[in-house]
Amino acid sequence: MEAYSPWPMPTDDGAAKHLIAGTRLPDVALPATRGAMVNLARFQEKAIVFVYPMTGTPGVPNPPDWNTIPGAHGSTPEAEGFRDAYAEFELAGYEVFGVSGQSSEAQHAFAARAGIPYLLLSDEKLAFADALNLPRFETGGVAYFSRLTMIVRDGIIYRVIYPVTNPAGHARTLLESLTAVRA
């Protein structure tokens, strides 16, 4: 059952239908919150890669029309959900990465503020997003990533969740589906 949200819910507009099982991630290194560069195409383990529009900053207003854009709200609760379930994802054999178009500095500040234990990757130059043709939306003259999650093994997508309709509960629901398969 989906959680109630006061914000408009996204629907599947087909913008991620090209992200199919077997798609190799692009050979692009992205700056991570701990200062290293991470190339998900070369990550030789299982990973959850959740792509999100942006996390807010206390005292800074949301972009124009944010409250009316389906799927725009929810990045902070989604990231916190992955934070809260991180140890369980690790026990299940998955590393977690979050990707947004925000700067490394903004991501680092959020990670410190929210106690995020996994890496957030900055695709500020859109190299990763452009190579995968990730779905986006625009407001205030700025493009933001639409929320989606890729389950990846050895740099290859084997499952995509799009759209993510319950960001706050997404990590828990995903973890339950992954561990049910293993049982």
- In the predicted structure, residue 32 carries a pLDDT above the cut 90: yes
- In the predicted structure, residue 1 carries a pLDDT above the cut 50: no
pTM equals: 0.95
DSSP letter, residue 159? E
pLDDT tens digits along 104-127: 999 999 999 999 999 999 999 999
Collapsing DSSP to helix, strand or coil, 133 comes out as coil
Percent of the chain with pLDDT over 90: 91
- Structural domain for 61, as ranges: 29-182
Q: How many domains does the chain have?
A: 1
Residue 150 one-letter amino acid: M
Instruction: Quote the CA–CA distance of 42 and 182 in Å, as a whole number.
Output: 25
- In the predicted structure, residue 183 carries a pLDDT above the cut 50: no
Beta strands in the chain (DSSP E): 29-31, 37-39, 46-51, 94-100, 119-122, 136-139, 142-145, 148-153, 156-161
Read off the CATH number of the domain in which 64 is found.
Answer: 3.40.30.10
DSSP letter, residue 9? P
Residues 22-44: what's their mean pLDDT? Answer: 96
Structural domain contains residue 4: no
